[in-house]
Amino acid sequence: MTPTSKTAIYPGSFNPFTLGHLSIVERGLKVFDKIVVAVGCNECKSRRGDDFSGRVESIRRVFEDEPRVEVITYSGLTADEAVRLGACAILRGVRSVADFETERQMADVNRDLCGIDTYILCSLPEYGFLSGSMVRELEHFGADVSKYLPKEKTK
Ligand code: ADP
């Protein structure tokens, strides 16, 4: 990456990383030179049965052929991580008005903390209902969730 290249951090829990998340990264790559998918682990240690490192590894496999995407873990403030990475933007997605209110608040806080703006993409209509929590719940009750996840995830 050159000093002028544009890196965005895409922070989230990605539990699991869905096709909705993937579409945000793919669309973000049209604008940014590099996207760092930053998997937050603030709560991971307290959640029983949560395979955090397995989740991170499966996201890395999704992007193993895409050198412009890096997958990292972080704890602490997203604003601090964005500064550490030299990111020019924080990337996020919204599915609904409810999402938007939360995202706007976080965007305001992060801009206040580190001066970095958040770029929010609207979800594709076909992924507007898709969330990590919904996939986890369906999985819990034995549903086949593979159609909501990137192909590599089901290897
Ligand atoms: P968090 O726990 O920080 O909300 P998530 O992993 O749930 O992290 O989501 C990360 C980001 O991706 C958030 O901005 C969220 O709104 C967005 N996102 C989640 N699912 C979708 C989807 N189906 N389409 C578009 N954006 C999504």
CB under 8 Å to 5, separation ≥6 — which residues? Answer: 33, 34
| Ligand 1 atom index nearest CA of 92 | 14
| Ligand 1 atom index nearest CA of 13 | 6
Q: Token pair for residue 87?
A: 């990111």
Does 139 sit in the ligand 1 pocket, CB within 6 Å? no
Strands 34-40 vs 69-74: parallel, antiparallel or unpaired: parallel
Does 104 sit in the ligand 1 pocket, CB within 6 Å? no
Does 132 sit in the ligand 1 pocket, CB within 6 Å? yes
| Ligand 1 atom index nearest CA of 17 | 6
Which of 118, 81, 115, 85 has the alpha carbon at shortest distance from 100?
A: 118
| pLDDT, tens only, 6-42 | 999 999 999 999 999 999 999 999 999 999 999 999 7
Average pLDDT over residues 129-155: 90
| pLDDT, tens only, 84-137 | 999 999 999 999 999 999 999 999 999 999 999 999 999 999 999 999 999 999
- Full-model pTM: 0.93
Does 7 sit in the ligand 1 pocket, CB within 6 Å? no
